[in-house]
Structure 1
Amino acid sequence: MTTPARSRPRDAGSSGRTAGGFTLLGVVLLALNLRAAIAGLAPLLPDVRLDLGLASGTAGLLTTLPVLCFGLLSPFAALLGRRIGIEAALLLAMLGIVAGSLVRAVPGFWWVVAGTVAVGAGITVGNVLVPSIVKQDFPDRQGPVTALTTAALTGGAALAAAVTAPLAHAGLGWRGALLLVGGLAAVAAVVWLPQLRHRHVAPIVRLGGTAVLRSPITWQLAVFMGMQSLTYYAVLAWLPTLLRDGGVSVAGAGWALALFNLLGIATAVAAPALAAQRRDQRGLALLACATWAVGLLGLLLAPSLYLLWTTLAGLAQGAGIGLALALLVLRARTPDSARDLSGAVQSVGYLLGSTGPVVLGVLHDASDGWTVPLVALCLAIALMAVAALGAGRNRQV
């Protein structure tokens, strides 16, 4: 069921307390660890392949597994939040990231796989429940706090991608570098521990989280986030290869990928803040889609200007993910509905997102070029824009 946002009552599920600066610090540290342990692996894949004797496809599995976890485990993350409380579940999420980082430091390919799955599971719980904790503890500052958490998420990913390779080659090795980055979740866990005094558990009589599946807003948000994720992960995986096939140097392709990630931080901060100031977010969502489309079409039609198109794509991806996370908060009526909506939307969204790198690779091999893959991504953005027309409306689940 959907209702106009302007008619909503005071959040029935809020905790009734005023969250302070220490809680905000804890939320930001949680978000900082929601991509770092994954992003840090990508620059080390050549070292991992060499050390473990892996083929390219098998090594690529290590980058796909966490995104599959996002899709498959998001409903269970919402269930965990209902059963033990979102504060306790978020603490377990950080401990899961630490444990997974320890496991994948053990010699042997299957230990790396098991550790990567554990890291992905921990991050999934954080992905789903951080919007709920923002809704619960910062009801009057949802936009600014969502902006901070999104900036921390994207900033943590960019920082991890930048430091892991230098740390590995400075003597830590790829296992030591990944362990150091993943171990930062322990700091977040320690800072978050006092929040267990305010544990928020859904009453037993509450209807389960499947109730949100009856709202069209849920599916509109899922398609919006799914197409955003599909395009983002596809570009993240294949942009350097696409540029190098077009004659760009290895260093130039690397700088373009860094630009793509770093520029997203600014728009990831701005988009939630701007969204919270508006009753209707359709204009912002369509602007993000249009920027994505221009960047992709530019790579197709004028590849020599790749830095310009990479800049636009980077700005678009930050705005897209920031807006998607903000809408999970703004379209929800209470902290409990934010948790359930987040679980449903992220499950569908990340399952769709996990197909991006694979589909783009298949299309590239089948067409022996990048025209068909880039056109396919433009079609995904068109579908994202259609979903934005519903997801951005002034309605709530």
Structure 2
Amino acid sequence: MGRGGWLTLLGFVLLALNLRAAIAAVPPLLPDLQVDLGLDRSAAGLLTALPVLCFGLLSPFAALLGRRVGIEWALLAAMLGIVLGSLTRTLPHPGWLLVGTALVGAGITVGNVLVPSAVKQHFPGRPGLATGLSTASMTTGATVAAAVSAPLAYAMGWGWRGSLLAIGAFAGVAALGWLPQVRRRHTAPAVEPQRSGAGILRSPVTWQVAVFMGTQSMLYYAILTWLPSILRDQGVAPTRAGAALAVFNLLGIGTALVVPTLAVRRPDQRGLALVVCAGWAVGVLGLLALPTMYLLWTVVAGLAQGAALSLTLTLLVVRARTPASARQLSGAVQSIGYLLSATGPVLFGALRDATTGWDLPLAAMAVVTVLMA
């Protein structure tokens, strides 16, 4: 790999670091956001669910944007959108929090959809390496954001607004790092054969990958949103609860690096997927049955979530024949999958509001692992 290839790979890493960070920064601050803004749990869950809803609603348009203006320009715009959204959601009126969150979600959506296509474009011979590094970087960004958002807000005295702004501003660094790629604008040639949207939706592979993606994302965003609250309701200190969430994200880095390489070496990924589902089931059922051992269950679930996400993204690459079909499959799968997963944070928050504890929400998550399998 030449110097240009390494610079491109660095650009992917910087992009991916920002594709979960602005979302993962919110959950450790949720109890204070609820008090400050007068939100119940289902409304607070919307702060995590709204970006995921954007993933579902805007994924087809993100694919179209990549075709119209080029993948490189679209990814630059995605990073600038995250910066703008992070600034907007710190404005005084509570409504701006939702507007800014939607802008952050829109920027991340473009990155979600176009990174697999860009990997197919720039690294056709090494998709496992590029996908693994991108997914690991995504998980790293979420880990760091979850770990530092509470200390920035409380120990540094910046408050939740200052904390969210500081984390979102790193997308500006990614935009600068991606600028050299903008000169290498890639758009699909007019003669490039493409399947129709109806053709993509008629494919069983599209729906299999979409449901797998939707259920793994539903679990991820539910735990991402509510793990600190689950632990704080058990008497765990806020900083320790935030650290547990950081561990949950951190441990996904290793499996995110390993799983794509394992997946591309075999023609059938079902056995690997079932192992991932089993890991999720153990983590969720452990939190339900023995919550005092939360660190162990956080470790298991963390390993499973990194593996599940990287396996999904790998499937988007290996099941597509060309960058154009990767873009189409990615847009369709992420639209369907994220519309399904957006219900997770709100649904499980509503179940908690309707009951006296977290048993019912965690049992519902266990059912989702069965659907995922």
TM-score (normalised: structure 2): 0.91
Partner Cα distance (2:143, 2:61) in 1: 28
Return the alpha-carbon distance in structure 1 between the equivalents of residues 196 and 331 of structure 2: 8
Q: 1:249 to 1:112 in 2, by over 3 A?
A: closer
Question: Which residues in structure 2 correspond to 1:1-397 (within 5 Å)?
Answer: 20-169=5-154, 170-204=156-190, 206-207=193-194, 210=197, 211-245=199-233, 253-366=241-354, 368-385=356-373
SS in 1 for 2:158: helix
Distance (Å, rounded) in 2 between the aligned partners of 1:41 and 1:371: 23
Letter in 2 for 1:188: A
Q: Aligned equivalents of 2:140 and 2:344: distance in 1?
A: 22
Q: 1:98–1:240: structure 2 CA closer, same or farther, 3 Å change rule?
A: closer
Contact 1:209–1:341, Cα closer than 8 Å, also in 2: no
Q: Mean alpha-carbon deviation: is it higher for 258-267 or for 329-338?
A: 258-267
Which region of structure 1 is more displaced relative to structure 2, 38-47 or 338-347? 38-47
Partner of 2:183, secondary structure, is helix
- For residues 97 and 114 of structure 2, the distance between their equivalents in structure 1, rounded to whole angstroms, comes to 26
Deviation at 1:275, TM superposition (A): 1.4
Which stretch has the larger CA shift, 319-328 or 260-269? Answer: 260-269
2:60–2:335: 8 Å Cα contact kept in structure 1?
yes
Shift of 1:163: 1.6
Q: Provide Cα deviations, 1:93-116, integer angstroms capped at 9, x if missing partner.
A: 111111112222322112222111
Return the letter of the residue paired with 1:73: L
Q: Quick check: 2:150–2:239 contact (8 Å CA) kept in 1? A: no
Contact kept, 8 Å, 1:294 with 1:312, in 2: the verdict is yes
CA shift for structure 1 position 251:
5.8
1:145-192 Cα offsets, whole Å, 9 max, x none, are: 111000110100111122222223314333232222111111111221
Shift in CA distance, 197/351, structure 1 to aligned 2, threshold 3 Å? same
Deviations 1:249-290 (A, max 9, x none): 656544433322221221122211221222222221111011
How many percent of aligned residue pairs carry the same amino acid?
65
- Equivalent residues, number: 369
Which piece of structure 1 moves more, 328-337 or 207-216?
207-216
Corresponding residue SS for 1:62: helix
Residue 231 (structure 1) shift: 1.4
After the TM superposition, which of the residue ranges 172-181 and 155-164 deviates more from structure 2?
A: 172-181
Q: 1:38 to 1:183 in 2, by over 3 A?
A: same
How many angstroms does 1:21 deviate by?
Answer: 0.9
Distance 1:78 1:282, change over 3 A: same
The structure-2 alpha-carbon separation of the partners of 1:70 and 1:139, relative to structure 1 and needing over 3 Å to count, comes to same
Whether the 8 Å CA contact 2:146–2:245 is kept in 1: the answer is no
User: Partner letter of residue 328 of structure 1?
Assistant: L
Distance in 1 (CA, whole Å) between partners of 2:324 and 2:215 is: 26
How many Å apart are 1:51 and its aligned residue? Answer: 4.5
Q: Distance in 2 between matches of 1:241 and 1:266?
A: 26
CA distance in 1, matches of 2:151, 2:207: 42
TM-score, structure 1 as length reference: 0.85
SS of the counterpart of 2:170? helix
Q: Which runs of 5+ in 2 are unaligned?
A: none
User: Does the 8 Å CA contact 1:96/1:121 hold for their aligned counterparts?
Assistant: yes
Native 8 Å contact 1:66 1:121 kept in 2: yes
**What is the alpha-carbon distance in structure 2 between the residues aligned to residue 97 and residue 251 of structure 1?**
26
The change in CA–CA distance for 1:256 and 1:382 in structure 2 (over 3 A counts) is same
Runs of 4 or more above 6 Å deviation: none
Q: How well do the aligned residues superpose, as a CA RMSD in angstroms?
A: 2.4
Against the structure 1 CA distance between its residues 221 and 112, is the aligned structure 2 distance closer, same or farther, given a 3 Å change threshold?
Answer: same
Whole-Å separation in 2 of the counterparts to 1:194 and 1:300: 48
Contact 1:52 1:108 in 2 (8 A): no
Asked if the contact 1:135–1:338 (Cα under 8 Å) also holds between the matched residues in 2, the reply is: yes
C-alpha change, 1:53 and 1:91, in structure 2 (3 Å) is same
Deviation at 1:47, TM superposition (A): 4.1
Question: CA separation of 1:176/1:229 partners in 2, compared to 1, >3 Å: closer, same or farther?
Answer: same
Write the distance in 2 (CA, Å) between the matches of 1:341 and 1:76.
Answer: 13
